Amino acid sequence: MNTKPMSMKPGTLILHTAARFLIPLQLLFSLFLLLRGHDEPGGGFIAGLVAAGAFSLYLFSFGSMMTRDLMRVDPRDLVGTGLLLGLIAAVLPVLLNGEPFLTAQWWPLVLPGGVELKLSTPLIFDIGVYLTVLGSVMTAVIALVEAEE
């Protein structure tokens, strides 16, 4: 006899359909929040939570195995990569210029067509936070779902 509650079964047709439309929008919105976070509200933490929400929706719709396939990277690896990027962004000013720990650095990059793009340690740090939050939340949520399966 199956003792699982009905809500733990992979999602319904409505949830599957909604997830397929909402997940790309959520991921795009998370990238928007990540990139605008330097000048306005947003940044790596909230963007990572929005991305984790998108993958969690997929998880509840299609199950843990399909979510792992979609992510293509173990969430624990995302945590490690994010922490490494944060450390690199924090130490880079010390190594390059002898400036204090976590001092912001900017490097102009001229793209074809004369467009200038400024790469910075705050952006690297935010990407590290994004990956750490996404990996942490997804590790926990997947573990909880797999414990119920």
User: The pTM is what?
Assistant: 0.86
pLDDT at 6: 41
pLDDT at 10: 63
- Rounded distance, CA 146 to CA 35, Å? 33
Structure tokens at 8: 């733990």
Give 10-residue mean pLDDT values along the chain (149 residues): 49 86 96 85 92 96 92 96 96 90 88 86 93 98 90
